Amino acid sequence: MNRYRSLVALVLIAFALTGCFRRKKYENPITKDTQQPDKVLFDKAIGDIERGRYEIARITLNTLMNTYDTSEYLAKAKLAIADSWFREGSTHGLAQAEAEYKDFILFYPTLEEAAESQQKICDIHYKQMEKADRDNKHAFRAEEECKLLLTQFPNSKFAPLASDKLRRIQEVISEGEFRRGDFYHTKGSYPAAANRLQYIVDQYPLYSKADDSLWMLGDSYSHMGPRMKDRAGESYSRIVKDYPLSPWVDAAKKKLKAMEAPIPDPDPVALARMKYEQENKTKVSMLHKTLAPFKKSPETSVAAKSGTPAMESIRPSVPVSVPVPAAVAGVTDVGAAIVGASDKTLDSKPDARQAPQPTAVTPPVEGAKPAATEPAKPAVQDQPLPTNRQLVKGKPKKEKKLTKKELQKMQQEQQQKAAAAQAKAADATVAPAAAPQPPKQ
C-alpha cells in the first residue's frame, strides 16, 4: 500500500514539474548566430518570455533599447515587449499589449510584423468577447480591429484568418440583435422588432439565422396594416431569392401568392453558397453542447465558412412608427436675372399672380343623370402609423373585489354624505332672518 502511494506521489510530482518548466516557444525568434551584446540581451529576454518570467524579460528588453539605440534588434525588442504582455493574459496585460502593438504599427508600419501586430489586437478583443446576450463591447471592438487589418494589410498572410474571425464576430453581434428582435416580435411590438430585424438582414446577410430574421420581419410588417404591404412582400421575396435552401421558402411563396406579388427565381450564387455551408457544417460534440452554457465565450461554430464579411457599417434606419416630417411647402430655389433697360414687359403686362386662375368646368350632358357620390376610401398613406403598443382584443378586465373593511368604509362615507345633504335641506326650509333695521338718527 505504501509502495502504491509513493508511486502516485512520484507521478503527481512529475506532472507538476513538467507544467512548471514547460517552455512555450516564441513566435518571432532571431535565428542569426552572433555574440553581439544586443543579440545576447535579446536571446536572454526571449528565454525569460518562454519560461513565463515576463517582468524580467521586459526589463532586459528595455535595457537593450535604451543602451543600444541604433541596434538592428530595436523593432524585434519592441514587438517582444508587446508579446510578453499578450502572453501574460490578464485584463491589465491585454490592455498594455494593445497599446504596445499600436505603437509598433505606428513606428514600423512597413514591416511584416505590423500585420501580425494588428492581428494580435483583434485577438485581444476576440478573446474577451462574451455571449450574445451579454455586453458586446469587445465584439464591436474586435470587428473594428479585424476590418482595419483587412483594409490596411489586404495582401498579408493574416488576411484569410482575419476574414474567418470577422465572420465569427459578426455572427455573435447578429445573434444578439436577433434575440432582441425576437423578444419584441413575441411581445407584439412589431415596429421595434422590424427595426432590429431589418438591420440584421441588411448589415449581416451571412448570419446563420438571416432567413429566420426575414420571415419574422415579413410577419412584423404584415401586422402593421396595408401601409407596410410592400415591405412585407420584399422580405418574403428575399427569402426565396437569397436563401433558396431555407425551410421558409415554401411558406414565403404561399405568402407572396396570397399577396399577388411576383415570386422571384433563386440566385445561383446564393444557392451555391448555401450548399457549401451545408457540406462544411461544423459538427458539435455532445460534451461541447453540455459545457457550452457554463462557458463565458460565445458559440461561433454555426458562423459562415464562406462569403465576404460586411466591411461597411450602414446607418441605422428610422423605425416605421416614427412619422416622417412633411416636405416644406413653397419654392426653395430662387433664381435672379438682370433685365435690360429696353425691356418694358414688366410695365406693360399685369402681374400674373394677381389674376385668378381659370378652372376647367365640364358642361353637363343633357339627359344624363348625376353620378352617385360614394364616400371616398382613405388612402393607404392616410392610415395611422403602427405603434409598439398594440391594442389587445380580449375579455374585459374583471372588477376588483372589495374587502369587508373597504365596503364598511364606503357605507360610512355614503351615510355621512346623506346626513350632510339632509342637514343642508333643513337649513334651506327655515324662514329667512328679518332684515336689519336702519340706525336711529
Task: Kindly give, in sequence order, each residue whose CB lies less than 8 Å from that of residue 232, ignoring residues fewer than 6 positions away.
Answer: 218, 219, 221, 222, 255, 259
Report percent pLDDT > 70 for the chain: 73
Say yes or no to pLDDT of 349 above 70: no
Say yes or no to pLDDT of 330 above 70: no
- Provide the pLDDT for residue 205: 94
Say yes or no to pLDDT of 218 above 90: yes
User: From CA 164, how far away is CA 289, in angstroms rounded?
Assistant: 22
Which single residue is written with the C-alpha cell 353637363? 364
Burial label, 372 (beta-carbon count in 10 A; 0-12, 13-18, 19+) = exposed
Answer whether 102's CB lies under 8 Å from 122's CB. Answer: no
Q: What backbone torsions phi and psi does residue 336 show, to the nearest 5 degrees? A: -140, 150
Cell of 187: 411581445
For 181-208, what is the mean pLDDT?
93
Least confident segment among 68-72, 163-167, 220-224, 323-327 = 323-327
Answer whether 254's CB lies under 8 Å from 219's CB. Answer: no
Q: How many other C-beta atoms lie within 10 A of the C-beta of residue 127?
A: 13
- Provide the pLDDT for residue 374: 55
For 75-87, what is the mean pLDDT?
93
Q: How far is CA 137 from CA 66, 128, 129, 142, 254, in A?
A: 37, 9, 8, 9, 41
Burial label, 339 (beta-carbon count in 10 A; 0-12, 13-18, 19+) = exposed
| 243 closest CA partner among 199, 278, 284 | 278
Query: Who wins on pLDDT, 401 or 35?
Result: 35
Answer whether 174's CB lies under 8 Å from 200's CB. Answer: yes
Say yes or no to pLDDT of 163 above 80: yes
User: From CA 274, how far away is CA 171, in angstroms rounded?
Assistant: 16
Instruction: Work out the pLDDT band at 69, boundaries 50, 70, 90.
Output: confident
Say yes or no to pLDDT of 257 above 50: yes
Question: pLDDT for 124-135, tens place per residue?
Answer: 999 999 999 888
Question: pLDDT for 360-417, tens place per residue?
Answer: 555 555 555 555 555 555 555 566 777 777 655 555 555 566 676 777 788 888 888 8
| 384 closest CA partner among 184, 183, 187, 191 | 191
Task: Kindly give, in sequence order, each residue whose CB lies less than 8 Å from that of residue 418, ignoring residues fewer than 6 positions away.
Answer: none
Q: How many other C-beta atoms lie within 10 A of the C-beta of residue 316?
A: 10
Say yes or no to pLDDT of 4 above 80: no
Task: Kindly give, in sequence order, each residue whose CB lies less than 8 Å from that of residue 372, ignoring residues fewer than 6 positions away.
Answer: none
- Provide the pLDDT for residue 342: 55
Instruction: Work out the pLDDT band at 18, boundaries 50, 70, 90.
Output: very low
pTM of the model: 0.71
| 209 closest CA partner among 170, 237, 165 | 170
User: From CA 181, how far away is CA 217, in angstroms rounded?
Assistant: 9
Cell of 432: 329667512
- Provide the pLDDT for residue 397: 54
| 45 closest CA partner among 63, 68, 71, 31 | 63
Quickly list DSSP for 137-204: HHHHHHHHHHHHHHHH-TTSTTHHHHHHHHHHHHHHHHHHHHHHHHHHHHHT-HHHHHHHHHHHHHH-
Instruction: Work out the pLDDT band at 326, boundaries 50, 70, 90.
Output: low
Instruction: Work out the pLDDT band at 15, boundaries 50, 70, 90.
Output: very low
Q: How far apart are the first and last CA of the chain?
A: 137
Instruction: Work out the pLDDT band at 16, boundaries 50, 70, 90.
Output: very low
Say yes or no to pLDDT of 19 above 50: no
Instruction: Work out the pLDDT band at 350, boundaries 50, 70, 90.
Output: low
Rg over CA atoms, the chain: 39
Report percent pLDDT > 90 for the chain: 51
**Mean pLDDT, the chain, whole residue set:** 81
Q: How many other C-beta atoms lie within 10 A of the C-beta of residue 417?
A: 10
Instruction: Work out the pLDDT band at 309, boundaries 50, 70, 90.
Output: very high
